Structure 1
Amino acid sequence: MHSKALEAEGSIFDRDKFVAQLKHETITWDIIVVGGGATGLGVAVDAASRGYKTLLLEQSDYAKGTSSRSTKLVHGGVRYLAQGDVSLVYEALRERGLLLQNAPHLVHVQPFVIPSYSLFNQGFYGIGLKVYDWMAGKYRFKKTELLGKKKVQELLPNVDEKGLKGGIIYYDGQFDDARLAVNLAQTCAEQGGVLLNYFKVTGLLKDANGKVAGVKARDLESSEEYELKAKVVINATGVFVNDVLQMDKPAQDPLVRPSQGVHVVLDKSFLKSDTALMIPKTPDGRVLFAVPWHDHVLVGTTDTPLNTASLEPTALEDEINFILDTAGQYMTRKPHRTDVLSVFAGLRPLAAPAKGTNSTKEISRSHKLIVADSGLVTITGGKWTTYRKMAEDTLAEAITIGKLPAKPCVTADLKIHGYAKPQPAPDYLDVYGSDADGIKALIKQQPELSQQLIAEFPNTQAEVVWAVRHEMARTIEDVLARRMRVLFLNAKAAIDMAPAVATIMASELGLSEAWKQNQVNSFIKLANQYLLEVYDPTYTKVNSTSQVA
C-alpha cells in the first residue's frame, strides 16, 4: 500500500516505514508484545523507554477492543474500597495522579455527585469517600464534601428530587481512552519502538528446548507472512489471551472468559451539567455512572458473562433496558430508547469457570502475571488506570525470562506524546494536546482542509489527513471510532461523515474508488450495530471528487 504519509514531514509513527524496517532488518527483538490495547501499549512504552528493542503487533487497530470501550474514568475504584481491596485502591490512586501529571491534555479532574435519598446512606458514603481522599495522599484531587438538597439540585439540575435528602461530591479522573492509546503508541515510537496495526500473530516460534523464541505473523494488508525472533514474547491480548496460550500449549484449559459491559450515549441535555452522576449501588451490585464526555452524556455500565470473545461485541436488549431504567430512576427527564445516540459494548476478562460449573470469578483488577514453562509471559486483568504499573511489573518478569540487562523503569515521569497543559479557553482540539498546533499548521497550508465533515460536529478534513499521516489510521472506522470518537458519540453522524472521510483517506493512501465504496459500505454496516434502529442513507456511490488538494 503506497502512502502519502511517507512524504509527510518527519512522521515518526508511520506504518509503511515500520513494515519496511521488518522486511530489511533481520534482528532478534528483545521484546515482542502481542496486543495493542492499554496493557500491550503500556508494556511497549516501558520496554522501549528502557532502551530494549521493542516490537508491538496488533491484529486490528490500537484499542479496537476493550480499551476504547471503557467508562472513560481514571479512578482509584470506590467500589474496590467498599470490597476491602485497600492495596489496589492505593495503587490506582497513585497511578491516577501520575496519569494526570503525564497526560494533562487527555486526563482531567471530574466532579461526581452521589445523590442521597436517606441520611444513613449520605453518612455511609461520605465516610467512605473521606477515606478515599485520605488514601490518595499527595495525589488527592479535591476534598470530598457533604451537600444539602439544594446544592445537589444546583449541580445536577435533572436529578429526581422526590425524597432527596442531600448528597456527596467527590473527585476522580476522566479521560479519552482511545486517544490515550494512540498517544501511547506514538510515545513508544518516539522511544525507538516499532508498532504495527493490522498485523496478526498466527503462531509462536520455539527453539530446540521448546522455549518461545519469537512469533509467526501476517500483515493483514498485504497478506505477507513473517517469522520474527525475540528474547521474550509477551501476551497482552486482553480477553483474547486464550488464543495465544493455545498457540503455546493447545490442550490447556481457557484462562479467561469474557464479561460484557455496555454503555449508552445521550444528548448532554439529560445531565445539564459538567458534574457527573454516580449511583453507588444498582440491582446487579455494580455502580452506574452518567458522565459528561465530549459534549454528550455517557451512561453505564453492565456486567454480563459471555461464552465467546469478539472484536465487535453487541449490546443485549436486557443491558440497554437496565441502563435506561436505572438511570431513569434518578432523573426527572428519563431517557428512552429513542434518545440513544450510540450504544457500545466492551469485554472484561474473568477467570474461566471450573469444569462442571458456570460460575465466574473476576480476575483481580490488580492484574495477574503468568509465565508458562515455555517462557511465554501473559499479563491479564487490571484496568486502564493501572496500565503503567502493570507494564512495570511485566517488564520485571520479562527481564528475568529473557536475561535482558537490567534497566530502571522511567515511565512514572515520562510525558506522554501530546503533553500539554490545559488552556484557559477550552477548544475541541485540546485532546490532541501539542499536536493541535500541527493540525492548525496543516489548515494554514491548505485552507480548504478547515471544512467541517458535517455541520453537527466540529471535526474538519484536516483531522482526517492528520490521522492518516501521523496516527496510523488505515480505515474509516479507525478515524471515526478511535481518532475522533464520533462513532461512540453519535453513530448516525458518523455514518453521514463516512463518504467524506473515505475520499480524503483514499487520496492520502493512494487507494481506489472500489476501496472507498467498500469502506463506506462496511462502515455503515458496523455503525448500525451502535444504533437501536437501522440507519442507511443509501450511499449508492461515494463522491469521487476529492476536496483535498
Structure 2
Amino acid sequence: MNRPESLEKLKSEEFDICIIGAGASGAGCALDAVLRGYKVALIDKKDFAAETSSRSTKLIHGGVRYLEQAFKKLDFAQLKQVRHGLEERHIVLKNAPHLARPLALMTPVSSWIEGLYFKIGLQIYDAFATNDTLPKSKWLTKKEVLAKIPTLDSRKLHSGVLYYDGQLDDARYCLAIVQSTAEAGGTVANYMEVNGFGRDTLGKLNVVNATDTRSGAQCAIRAKLVINCTGPFADHIRLLANPLLSERLRPSKGVHVVLPAATLNSEYAMLIPKTSDGRVVFAIPFEGATMIGTTDTDYGDVSSEPTLNESEKKYLADTLNPYLAKPIKLEELKAGFGGLRPLLAADPVKSTKSLVRDHEVETDEKSGLISLLGGKWTTYRLMAKDTIDEADRFFSKNNSCTTDSCILAGGENFSSESWHQLATTYDLPEDISRHLTKKYGSRAGKVAALTVNDNSLKTRLLAELSYIQAEAIYTIRHEMAMTLRDFFARRIRLEITGWNETLKALPVVADLMARELEWSGDQKQREISEYRDLIMKFISDAKSV
C-alpha cells in the first residue's frame, strides 16, 4: 500500500473496474474482483472505512431483532436477512482471526415467562447458524448471570439467556480487505474525491474524474466499468452519473456512547431487549471500554458528520440503567460516535427502524454505472459477490468467487499466542505484545521490528495504554495513514474509546507523522489544530441537544 505509486498507476493505466467507495462493501468488491482476475482501482474521498464501516456496533450477527420481527410480522425478507447474516458470520470470523472473535452476549430477564420467550427465540437463531462452531444458547440462573456480569441489579433479575455472535474491529477489518486487495494486484488510494465522469460515444462511463484532496491534483481514471459502493452517499454518485435517476436511499443515524470498562466489569456483552422505541440496545466490551448503542433516527443531511448529543446520551443511559445496580452518570462518558446506515426505502412513510438491512445491486442502463445499495457489515462479502457477479455479466465472463476462503492480511498463520514470541524477541511488555498481536495479527513483528534501530519507538503514547510510537510509523508506511484522524480513529481506535486520551497523545503522534510525511511546520500546526478542534466539537455536541 504505497500511495504515490498508486496515484501514478491511477493516472497512467486503464482498469477493467474502478470502484468508488472503500468501506466494507467497496473493499469487498475490490478484493472479489481482483481475485477473479480483473484489473481493479479502488478509491475513496476520505480514508478507508472513514464513514459507516468504522462506526458500527462491532457485531457480526444475523440480527436477533430481525428474527423476532420476521415471526411477529410474518416478514420473510427479515428472515432472509437473518439467514444470510448467520451464513456469513462464520466466514467473517474465519478469514481474519486476529480482528474478529466470538462474543458471548447475555440477555437479562425478569421472569420465567420472559426467559422462556428468549430461550425459544435464541434456539431458533441457533438453528439458522448451520455452518459455524459457536456455542449454542443457554438459559442461566440468576447466580450464573451475576457471576458473569457482576454489575447487574440482582433485585430485578430473574435469570438470563446467554447466546453467541461475533465481534470485529470494523475499521481494521476493512483495512485488511483493502490490504489484501493491494497485495493481490489491485490499485488502492484514499483521499480521492470523485467530481465527474467521462463517457464513450454511447454515453457509458469510461473515465472517473477525481481530485486528490491531499494535494489538489486532478486525476482521470480510465475504466471499462464503474461500480458505486458509497453507502449512504450512493445517491450522489448515481445522480452524478445520471441526473434523471430517482433517489433510493433513506439514511438513518445511529450513535454509540463509550463508558469505562467498569460499567459492566465483564468480558460478556449484554443485549437489552426492552427500549422506549421498540429497538434493542447492546452494551459491549470493546478496546478496554464499554460501548452502548445504538439509536435509529432519520438523518437528512449526509454532508455533515453525525455526532452524539445530550438527548441521545440520555436515551442510551436510561436504557441501560434499569439493569445496573449502580446507574451510570452521563459525566462518565469517555467518547462517542455516530454513523449512517445506507437503508433502502421503498416506502417513505416507514420508520427507519422497520426497514430491512438488505442490499440490492442496481445497473443504470443509460450510464452503465453499477451501484451496490443497502446492506450491513456482516454480509459485506455476499454483497460483493452479488455485485461482481453482475460485473462478470458485463464482461461476458463466468468467474468463481473465492473470497469465502481468502484469509485477509494479518490473518495468515495467525496464532493468538504469538505475543509470547513478540515479547521475547523485542523485549516488549506483555500488554503491548498482546495489543500488537490483536491489531496487526501475524504482521505484529513488522511493527515491533521498527524498534530495533530506534528504541524510542517502544515508548507508549500514554503511560496507561498499550499503544506505542512505532505504530504511527508503521501505519504510515504500510497502511496508508495520511492524517492524525486516520491514525487515532481507524488505525488504533483511540478516538472512539477516549476523547481526552486522544487529545493527550496528539502532540507526540503529530511529531511522528510530520517527520514521516515531511509536513512543514505550518502544515503540522494546521493538522493539529484541525483535529483538536474536531475532538472538542464532539465533546461540545455531546453536551448539547
Q: 1:410 aligns with which of 379, 399, 402?
A: 402
Q: 1:26 aligns with which of 13, 29, 43?
A: 13
Judged with a 3 Å threshold, the aligned counterparts in structure 2 of structure 1 residues 310 and 330 are, in CA distance, closer, same or farther, namely: farther
Q: 2:205 aligns with which of 207, 212, 237?
A: 212
Say whether the 8 Å CA contact 1:39–1:236 is kept in structure 2: yes
Task: Using the TM superposition, give the Cα deviation of residue 180 of structure 1 relative to its aligned residue in structure 2, in angstroms.
Answer: 0.6
Aligned counterparts of 1:198 and 1:99: Cα–Cα separation in 2: 27
Q: 1:522 aligns with which of 524, 530, 538?
A: 530
Aligned counterparts of 1:288 and 1:81: Cα–Cα separation in 2: 15
Q: 1:384 aligns with which of 369, 377, 388?
A: 377
Say whether the 8 Å CA contact 2:140–2:159 is kept in structure 1: yes
The normalised TM-score by structure 2 is: 0.92
Amino acid at match of 1:480: F
Judged with a 3 Å threshold, the aligned counterparts in structure 2 of structure 1 residues 434 and 272 are, in CA distance, closer, same or farther, namely: same
Q: 2:263 aligns with which of 258, 266, 270?
A: 270
- 1:365 is the counterpart of 2:372: no
Judged with a 3 Å threshold, the aligned counterparts in structure 2 of structure 1 residues 73 and 311 are, in CA distance, closer, same or farther, namely: farther
Task: Using the TM superposition, give the Cα deviation of residue 534 of structure 1 relative to its aligned residue in structure 2, in angstroms.
Answer: 9.2
Aligned counterparts of 1:290 and 1:102: Cα–Cα separation in 2: 25
Say whether the 8 Å CA contact 1:266–1:298 is kept in structure 2: yes
- 1:197 is the counterpart of 2:190: yes
Task: Using the TM superposition, give the Cα deviation of residue 351 of structure 1 relative to its aligned residue in structure 2, in angstroms.
Answer: 3.4
Q: What is the match of residue 95 of structure 2?
A: 102
Q: What is the match of residue 472 of structure 2?
A: 464
Alpha-carbon RMSD across the aligned residues, in angstroms, is 1.8
- 1:484 is the counterpart of 2:524: no
Task: Using the TM superposition, give the Cα deviation of residue 404 of structure 1 relative to its aligned residue in structure 2, in angstroms.
Answer: 4.9
Q: What secondary structure does 2:250 align onto?
A: strand
Q: What secondary structure does 2:119 align onto?
A: helix
- 1:421 is the counterpart of 2:376: no
Q: What is the match of residue 428 of structure 2?
A: none
Aligned counterparts of 1:332 and 1:310: Cα–Cα separation in 2: 41
Task: Using the TM superposition, give the Cα deviation of residue 360 of structure 1 relative to its aligned residue in structure 2, in angstroms.
Answer: 5.2
Amino acid at match of 1:468: I
Aligned counterparts of 2:79 and 2:9: Cα–Cα separation in 1: 46
Amino acid at match of 2:222: K
Q: 1:182 aligns with which of 166, 175, 183?
A: 175
Amino acid at match of 1:175: L
Judged with a 3 Å threshold, the aligned counterparts in structure 2 of structure 1 residues 361 and 70 are, in CA distance, closer, same or farther, namely: closer
Amino acid at match of 1:30: D
Say whether the 8 Å CA contact 2:296–2:353 is kept in structure 1: no
Q: What is the match of residue 541 of structure 1?
A: none
Q: 2:157 aligns with which of 155, 158, 164?
A: 164
Q: Which residues of structure 2 form unaligned runs of 5+? A: 71-77, 420-430
Q: Deviations over 1:133-163 (max 9, x none)?
A: 1211231400211011111111111112223
Aligned counterparts of 1:307 and 1:228: Cα–Cα separation in 2: 31
Task: Using the TM superposition, give the Cα deviation of residue 478 of structure 1 relative to its aligned residue in structure 2, in angstroms.
Answer: 0.3
Aligned counterparts of 1:49 and 1:400: Cα–Cα separation in 2: 16
Judged with a 3 Å threshold, the aligned counterparts in structure 2 of structure 1 residues 452 and 359 are, in CA distance, closer, same or farther, namely: closer
Task: Using the TM superposition, give the Cα deviation of residue 363 of structure 1 relative to its aligned residue in structure 2, in angstroms.
Answer: 5.3
- 1:246 is the counterpart of 2:234: no
Say whether the 8 Å CA contact 1:31–1:54 is kept in structure 2: yes
Q: Deviations over 1:71-110 (max 9, x none)?
A: 0101111111112222222221121101111100011111
Aligned counterparts of 1:361 and 1:304: Cα–Cα separation in 2: 8
Q: What is the match of residue 433 of structure 1?
A: 441
Q: Deviations over 1:418-456 (max 9, x none)?
A: 002322867111221011110111112321100111213
Judged with a 3 Å threshold, the aligned counterparts in structure 2 of structure 1 residues 83 and 140 are, in CA distance, closer, same or farther, namely: farther
Q: 1:134 aligns with which of 120, 127, 136?
A: 127
Q: What is the match of residue 303 of structure 1?
A: 296
Aligned counterparts of 1:423 and 1:202: Cα–Cα separation in 2: 47
Aligned residue runs from structure 1 range 442-453, under 5 A: 442-453=450-461
Aligned counterparts of 1:517 and 1:88: Cα–Cα separation in 2: 47
Q: Which residues of structure 1 form unaligned runs of 5+? A: 1-12, 536-549
Say whether the 8 Å CA contact 2:484–2:527 is kept in structure 1: yes
Aligned counterparts of 2:354 and 2:198: Cα–Cα separation in 1: 31
Amino acid at match of 1:245: R
Amino acid at match of 2:251: P
Task: Using the TM superposition, give the Cα deviation of residue 257 of structure 1 relative to its aligned residue in structure 2, in angstroms.
Answer: 2.3
- 1:81 is the counterpart of 2:74: no
Q: What secondary structure does 1:531 align onto?
A: helix
Q: What is the match of residue 547 of structure 1?
A: none
Aligned counterparts of 1:308 and 1:400: Cα–Cα separation in 2: 35
Q: What is the match of residue 37 of structure 1?
A: 23
Q: What secondary structure does 1:327 align onto?
A: helix
Q: Deviations over 1:108-148 (max 9, x none)?
A: 11111100002111101101111111211231400211011
Q: 1:49 aligns with which of 11, 31, 35?
A: 35
Aligned counterparts of 2:56 and 2:501: Cα–Cα separation in 1: 21
Q: What is the match of residue 257 of structure 1?
A: 250
Aligned counterparts of 2:137 and 2:229: Cα–Cα separation in 1: 36
Aligned counterparts of 2:351 and 2:315: Cα–Cα separation in 1: 22
Judged with a 3 Å threshold, the aligned counterparts in structure 2 of structure 1 residues 43 and 363 are, in CA distance, closer, same or farther, namely: farther
Task: Using the TM superposition, give the Cα deviation of residue 317 of structure 1 relative to its aligned residue in structure 2, in angstroms.
Answer: 2.6
Q: What is the match of residue 17 of structure 1?
A: 5
Amino acid at match of 2:453: Q
Q: What secondary structure does 1:350 align onto?
A: coil
